């Protein structure tokens, strides 16, 4: 047995049968144990520093600045371990009890804790559990003379990193401490990696979100261009697509439709007449009454518009509204004679908004009527052409909102974006 191991065993006697008297060790022991000048320590006062204070550094090995807390109620053992670790370049703080260690840990941070198991004011297991709860990133090495495998297993189960049995060699102590600190560094590296990874993921997610917003904006710009092209082809209804889209958004908001679904409905409303691009000009612009055959051709604009949009991925859902926007609640509409809930909710909302704009806009065959007249006509057709639930919500919205939206879209107030969901909110009064 080496002098160091013998000194550790002598200093502890037996953990279950401690002596209250101070242990006196020969100067030769310190020479062998610490490779230090024996004059640095005095007999009977081997701590080298006051309890709870870091041992002054006498070595400054580059890069080795780890802070270690040593807890043991035997002053000689506490000092031996502390001085050995300090000589290796570590910054060491000594504690004589679990309670003192707890106080120190409350105000200082450490990279490693070495603690005795059996101490006069309690056992090290309680301190281990406290450290695991309050400082889970700090590894704990248990030090004990109890040669019982069950004690070691219990310590490991409770979260101890390692278990040192007294007596032990100095090299064994140093190696165990180094492994524990390497483990701590690996935990920190993993934590930093996870944090960096999360930051990268957040950054890339934000980039993707921005890219999707830019793409969606480009989609809406494309829709605006399609709508403008339709207005040029059918000048009789110029501005109709923009107004009916705003009215549809406002009504959908009042019905608590989700923002994501409103965007789909808005796109369908804006492009509801896109199929008219395929209708011959002589029919589309005919000033007089259409013949039966011409009416059939005109009615085909629903399916033509549907076939145009369904092939475009971001408009495939909106295509359903384009196809069904001329259906009536009682089944008397076209092209499929759908009725009630068979008609998509977006198309049922659009039908009311479309009628509102048609009644309050000028036509070659009549002048625009008032919003009161539109309300009366829409109420009259509730249950036949229109969904009564949509009509009920529509009637609760004041005329001021419709007037404001119309003015904005016609350019009398400010530039209006057709897909500005907030601008078309019924709450704006």
Residue spans per domain, the chain: 3-188, 212-409
Q: Name every residue whose Cβ is closer than 8 Å to that of residue 257 and which is 6 or more positions away in sequence.
A: 265, 345, 349
Number of Cβ within a 10 Å radius of residue 113: 28
Cα–Cα distance for residue pair 391/331, rounded to 1 Å? 17
Burial class of residue 318 (count of CB atoms within 10 Å of its CB; 0-12, 13-18, 19+): buried
Q: How many contiguous H segments (helices) and E segments (strands) does the chain have?
A: 17, 7
User: Which phi and psi angles does 128 have, rounded to 5°?
Assistant: -55, -50
User: Which phi and psi angles does 313 have, rounded to 5°?
Assistant: -50, -45
Tokens representing 86?
């300090």
Query: Among 370, 375, 363, 365, which Cα is nearest to 406's?
Result: 370
pLDDT tens for the chain, 429 residues long, are 444 444 444 344 334 333 333 333 333 333 334 343 333 333 333 333 444 544 433 333 434 589 999 999 888 888 999 999 999 999 999 999 988 999 999 999 999 999 998 887 778 888 999 999 999 889 999 988 777 788 888 888 888 999 888 877 889 999 999 999 999 888 888 878 887 888 888 888 888 888 777 777 777 777 777 777 776 766 555 678 889 999 999 999 999 999 999 999 999 999 999 898 888 888 888 878 889 999 999 999 999 999 988 988 888 899 999 999 999 999 999 999 999 999 999 999 999 999 999 999 887 667 889 999 999 999 999 999 999 999 999 999 999 999 899 888 877 434 444 455 454 544 443
**Superfamily in which the 3-188 domain is placed by CATH:** Response regulator (3.40.50.2300)
CB 324 within 8 A of CB 331: no
**Superfamily in which the 212-409 domain is placed by CATH:** Hypothetical protein af1432 (1.10.3210.10)
Cα–Cα distance for residue pair 373/375, rounded to 1 Å? 5
Strand partners, 143: 116, 164
Cα–Cα distance for residue pair 260/258, rounded to 1 Å? 5
**Is the omega angle on the peptide bond into residue 167 within 30 degrees of 0, that is, cis?**
yes
What global pTM score does this model have? Answer: 0.51
């Amino acid at each position: 047995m080496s002098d160091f191991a013998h000194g550790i065993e002598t200093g502890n006697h037996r953990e279950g049968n401690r002596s209250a008297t101070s242990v006196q060790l020969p100067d030769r022991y310190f020479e062998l144990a610490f490779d230090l000048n024996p004059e640095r320590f005095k007999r009977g006062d081997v701590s080298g520093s006051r309890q709870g204070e870091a041992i002054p550094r006498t070595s400054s090995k580059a890069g080795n600045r780890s802070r270690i807390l040593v807890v043991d109620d035997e002053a000689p053992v506490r000092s031996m371990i502390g001085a050995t670790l300090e000589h290796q370049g570590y910054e060491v703080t000594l504690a004589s009890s679990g309670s003192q260690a707890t106080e120190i840990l409350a105000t200082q941070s450490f990279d490693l804790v070495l603690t005795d198991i059996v101490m006069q004011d309690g056992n090290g297991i309680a301190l281990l559990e406290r450290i695991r709860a309050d400082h889970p990133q700090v590894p704990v090495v248990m030090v004990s003379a109890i040669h019982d495998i069950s004690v070691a297993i219990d310590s490991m189960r409770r979260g101890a990193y390692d278990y040192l049995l007294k007596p032990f060699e100095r090299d064994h102590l140093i190696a165990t401490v180094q492994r524990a600190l390497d483990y701590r560094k690996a935990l920190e590296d993993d934590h930093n990696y996870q944090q960096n990874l999360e930051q990268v993921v957040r950054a890339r997610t934000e980039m993707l979100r921005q890219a999707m917003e830019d793409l969606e904006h480009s989609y809406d710009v494309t829709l605006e261009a399609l709508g403008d092209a339709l207005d040029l082809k059918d000048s009789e209804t110029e501005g109709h697509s923009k107004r009916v889209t705003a009215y549809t958004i406002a009504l959908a908001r009042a019905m608590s439709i989700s923002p994501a679904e409103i965007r789909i409905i808005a796109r369908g409303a804006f492009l509801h007449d896109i199929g008219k691009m395929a209708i011959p000009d002589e029919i589309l612009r005919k000033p007089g009454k259409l013949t039966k055959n011409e009416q059939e051709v005109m009615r085909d604009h629903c399916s033509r518009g549907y076939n145009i949009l369904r092939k475009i991925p971001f408009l495939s859902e909106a295509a359903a509204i384009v196809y069904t926007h001329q259906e009536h609640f009682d089944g008397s509409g076209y092209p499929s004679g759908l009725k009630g809930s068979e008609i998509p909710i977006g198309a049922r909302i659009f039908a009311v908004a479309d009628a509102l704009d048609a009644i309050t806009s000028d036509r070659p065959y009549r002048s625009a009527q008032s919003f009161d007249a539109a309300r009366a006509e829409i109420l009259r057709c509730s249950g036949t052409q229109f969904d009564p639930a949509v009509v009920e919500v529509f009637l609760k919205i004041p005329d001021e909102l419709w007037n404001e939206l119309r003015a904005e879209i016609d350019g009398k107030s400010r530039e209006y974006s057709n897909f500005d969901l907030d601008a078309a909110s019924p709450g704006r009064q």
